[in-house]
Amino acid sequence: MSLTNGHKSFLYTILMSLALIQNSAAANVASETNTPIKIQSNVIEIGYQIGDIAHQTLVIQTPKGYVLDESSLPAQGKSAAYMELRNAKWQTQEIGNISQHKLELDWQIFRVMQETRAYSLKPLDLQFRTKMRNDKVLAVHVNAAKVMVASVLPTAMDAAHTKPQGDVAPALRNTQSIVASLWLSLIGFLLSSLYFAWRFDWLPKKFTAFFAAPKPFKGAYREIKALQKDGESSSQIDNAMRSLRRAFDLTAGVTLSVERLATLFVNNSKLMPKRAEIKHFYEESERCFFAGGESTFNLKQLIQLSHQLMMLESV
C-alpha cells in the first residue's frame, strides 16, 4: 500500500517527537550521572569489647529526587559474622539540586578472637530510587569501616583455661633498714615530746623533782598557779608576789630591790627583754609591802609574768 504525502508527513512528525523525547531523557540521565556522589562515613575505631555497639554514621549525597531503598540494607540480626546490624534509621533532606541522606547504623560485636585486633564492619551496597514513574536505580558502594576490639573472655574453653593457676609467692624484702628507721623515729619522737613537756612545764612536779630541782622561776610559776585554785584575794596576791621575788633573789644570788635591779642583769642577760616588766613589778611590790598600798596586779598577770620568765631562764 502506497502512502500519500499526508501520511508520510504524519509519520515523520511522530518519529521526530519520539526522537526528541529520547534525547531529553538521555540528557536528564546524563545530567544526573554528572552529579557527583559524595560519601562520608564516621565511626569511633577504638575502645570496644565483646557485646559493645559500634555506632556508624553515613552521609551520602545523590542527585535530587532519590530516596533510600531500605531493602538494600543488610538484614538485622540474621548474620553469623563477627558484627551484626542491630538497628538502622535514616532521613533524607533536599539541598539545592542534591538529596542528602543521613544513615545511623548500630553494629553489635558478637564474636572476637583471643588477641586484640581490627574487625571490619560489613561493606554496604546501597540502592537509591526515584519516586517517578520511570523508576531509576542508583547504586552506591560504601567500603567497610574497621574497629579495634579487645577480648576480655576466652572464646574457646580448654584445659589450659579451666585449671586454676597456683598462687604466686611474694618476693622477700629486706626490712631491717625499715625497722631501724622506725625505731629511730619513735625514739626521736619520744625525746622531742619529753623536751617540749619539760620546756613548757607539762610534766608532773614529782617527775621533774626526780631528775633535778626546778629552776627559780619555774618553781614560782607552779606556786602561783597553785594559789589560783582557791580563788583570788589580796593575801594570795601578796603570796604570789613574794614567791616571784624569791625567784628573782635566787636567780641574782642576792636580795634585790628596785635600786639593785642592775645586779640581776649582770649574769642573767637573757632576762633583759623583760627589764621594763621586772622594774614595774618591783615598784608595785615594794609599794604594796613597804608603803601599805594595794597591788594593781592580779593572779592572772603574775602567772603570765612568771611563765614568761620561766621560758627565758630555760633558754
φ, ψ (nearest 5 deg) of residue 207 = -70, -45
Overall average pLDDT of the 196-221 stretch: 68
Q: Is residue 59 located within the same domain as residue 133?
A: yes
| One domain, residues 146 and 210 | no
In a domain, 167, yes or no: no
Q: How many CB atoms lie within 10 A of CB 103?
A: 20
- Band (pLDDT 50/70/90 cuts) for residue 314 is confident
Q: Which among 93, 122, 153 is the end of a domain?
A: 153
Q: Which residue has the higher pLDDT, 7 or 265?
A: 265
Q: Alpha carbon of 242 to those of 101, 247, 281, 307: distances in Å?
A: 104, 9, 11, 16
Residues 131, 43, single domain; the answer is: yes
* Residue 297 identity (one-letter amino acid): F
Cα 126 from Cα 120, distance rounded (Å): 18
Query: Cα dist. 20→13, 15, 25, 280 in Å?
Result: 11, 9, 9, 129
Query: What is the C-alpha separation between 119 and 145, in angstroms, rounded?
Result: 8
**Grid cell at residue 9:** 508527513
Query: Is the same domain home to 228 and 145?
Result: no
Give the whole-angstrom CA distance, residue 74 versus residue 145.
15
Q: What is the pTM of this model?
A: 0.38
Please check whether residue 163 lies inside any domain of the structure: no
* Rounded (10°) CA dihedral 188, 194, 198, 202: 140
C-alpha to C-alpha distance for 121 and 108, rounded to whole angstroms: 10
Q: In terms of domains, do 218 and 305 share one? A: yes
Closest CA to 302 of 270, 278, 272: 278
Residues 117 and 214 in one domain: no
Instruction: Please calculate the CA angle 195-196-198 and round it to the nearest 5 degrees.
Output: 65
- Flag whether 32 is in a domain: no
Question: Is residue 123 situated within a structural domain?
Answer: yes
Domain extent at residue 225: 201-313
- The residues with which 200 forms a beta bridge, in sequence order, are none
- Are 237 and 302 within 8 A, CB to CB? yes
140 Cβ partners below 8 Å, 6+ apart?
37, 39, 60, 62, 124, 125, 126, 127, 128
| Residue 178 is assigned to a structural domain of this protein | no
Per-residue pLDDT reduced to its tens digit, 16-45: 554 444 444 433 443 444 567 889 888 988
Q: CA 54 to CA 43: how far, in whole Å? A: 7
CA distances in angstroms from 281 to 88, 165, 240, 260, 289, listed in the order given: 97, 84, 12, 14, 12
What is the spatial distance between Cα 154 and Cα 265, in angstroms, rounded to a whole number?
Answer: 89
> Are 131 and 210 in a shared domain?
no
- Quick check: is 16 in a domain? no
Question: Do 130 and 231 belong together in one domain?
Answer: no
In whole numbers, what is the pLDDT of the chain averaged over residues? 79
Alpha-carbon gap, residue 54 to 49, rounded angstroms: 10
Q: Are residues 134 and 215 in the same domain?
A: no
Domain's final residue, options 119, 153, 187: 153
Q: Are residues 46 and 148 in the same domain?
A: yes
Distance CA 173, CA 263 (A): 65
Does 101 or 155 have the greater pLDDT score? 101
Q: What pLDDT digit, counting tens, does each position of 239-259 carry?
A: 889 999 999 999 888 989 888
Which H or E run contains 104?
Answer: strand 98-109
**How many structural domains are present in the chain?**
2
Of the ranges 56-60, 115-119, 217-221, 271-275, which one carries the lowest mean pLDDT score?
115-119
Give yes or no for residue 154 having a pLDDT over 80: no
Residue 213, all three cell numbers: 630541782
Domain for residue 255, yes or no?
Answer: yes
Strand partners, 58: 41, 103
147 and 208 in one domain? no
The answer to whether position 279 is within a domain reads: yes
d(CA 67, CA 126): 11
* CATH number of the domain enclosing 140: 2.60.40
**Is the domain of 144 the same as that of 224?**
no
